[in-house]
Amino acid sequence: MTQMMRAIEITEAGGPEVLKPTRRPRPEPGHGQVVIKVAWAGVNRPDALQRAGLYAPPPTASDLPGLEASGEVVAIGPGAQGLALGDLVCALLPGGGYAEYVATPAAHCLPVPDGLGLREAACLPETFFTVWSNVFGRGGLKAGERFLVHGGSSGIGTTAIQLAKAFGARVFATAGSAEKCAACLDLGAERAINYREEDFVGILKEAGGADLILDMVGGDYIPRNLKALSEEGRLVQIAFLGGAKVEVNFAMLMTRRLTMTGSTLRPQSDLAKARIAQDLREAVWPLLSAGSVAPVMDQTFDLDEAAKAHARMESSNHIGKIVLKVGQTG
């Protein structure tokens, strides 16, 4: 008999209210996969974009939202290596995290860092995979460089500030309120810029220009980012919350030898994500276990309150990560 589980589904494209509790068959592990009994599920802005009909899941992924979770390994598929039944993990998911059970490649699971609970661990994968691959991989951030991240108080931003600082960069961050700017400074930014009151271009230029910018805003930030870069500076685009179409004078790319790039994590191959997981295990998980880097926790909601969690995220009043309690606490 098919075993069923509680989950949250997107009933139609729309606002937070389209997220509704449902019952679905429990997933089985495919080749190289494990099934996790979910304790906590992280909430990310891409979940809200998917819910609004603006970010379709890859064809092979679950239609249920949820890109990261923590919990216990309860089933192991053929060819899955490195994990045993009962292991506590956090994992990057192809989708399906807003549910009691989820299947994901074993190679996308990481241990719960020493000193962190499952609640905090659930909030690591999506932002740490994204920041690591874009800031240090694609963007090539090096110690001593000036790094600017927009949306510094977001899940992505709070992770980017801490990792850039931990690896020796000078960190600048923008955010939309004095409280959010204070949070950025607490996390290690040397300068937090309230974009409602100050112009980040002038501030970065005065500091010598940004060697690397991580941007999720786009829109009119695109030409302004190019102006804020130093010679040979790099701009990495991970979203376009402010729009993807804008008029830009690209002569700056040529005359100042700039690089503009970007990526999305979800459609990348399992192998590419496994490589990022391995890098994180070696370079970043020791920092989490040592407590020198930690997830910034905003509010917790029950799984059935996923709509409220999305409404909080879209209010942009949060600082750091929002998380859903699915199974056990801890």
Ligand X SMILES: NC(=O)c1ccc[n+]([C@@H]2O[C@H](COP(=O)([O-])OP(=O)(O)OC[C@H]3O[C@@H](n4cnc5c(N)ncnc54)[C@H](OP(=O)(O)O)[C@@H]3O)[C@@H](O)[C@H]2O)c1
Q: Is 62 in the site for ligand X (CB under 6 A)?
A: no
Q: Which two tokens stand for residue 283?
A: 């370079």
Query: Toward ligand X, which CB reaches closer, 48 or 76?
Result: 48
Q: Is 242 in the site for ligand X (CB under 6 A)?
A: yes
Query: Toward ligand X, which CB reaches closer, 35 or 121?
Result: 121
Query: Toward ligand X, which CB reaches closer, 33 or 154?
Result: 154
* Residue 149 backbone dihedrals phi, psi, to 5 degrees: -120, 130
Q: Is 71 in the site for ligand X (CB under 6 A)?
A: no
- Cα–Cα dist 15/13, whole Å: 7
Q: Is 139 in the site for ligand X (CB under 6 A)?
A: no
- Please, which of residues 294-313 interact with ligand X by CB under 6 A? 313
Q: Report the residue from 33, 154, 225, 230 that binds ligand X according to the rule CB under 6 A.
A: 154
Q: Give the interface segment with ligand X, choosing from 95-103, 141-149, 173-181, 287-295 (CB under 6 A).
A: 173-181
In the chain, the largest separation of any two C-alpha atoms, in whole Å, equals 67
Q: Report the residue from 161, 171, 201, 216 that binds ligand X according to the rule CB under 6 A.
A: 216
Q: Compute the least distance from the CB of residue 198 to ligand X, in Å.
A: 13
What single string gives the DSSP state of each residue in 127-184?
Answer: HHHHHIIIIIIIS---TT-EEEESSTTSHHHHHHHHHHHHTT-EEEEEESSHHHHHHH
Residue 183's closest CA among 207, 164, 157? 157
Residue with tokens 């600017």: 148
Query: What is the four-CA torsion angle of 99, 93, 263, 136, rounded to 10 degrees?
Result: 120
Residues of this chain that interact with ligand X (CB under 6 A) are: 44-46, 49, 126, 130, 151, 153-156, 175-176, 180, 216-217, 238-239, 241-242, 263-265, 313, 316
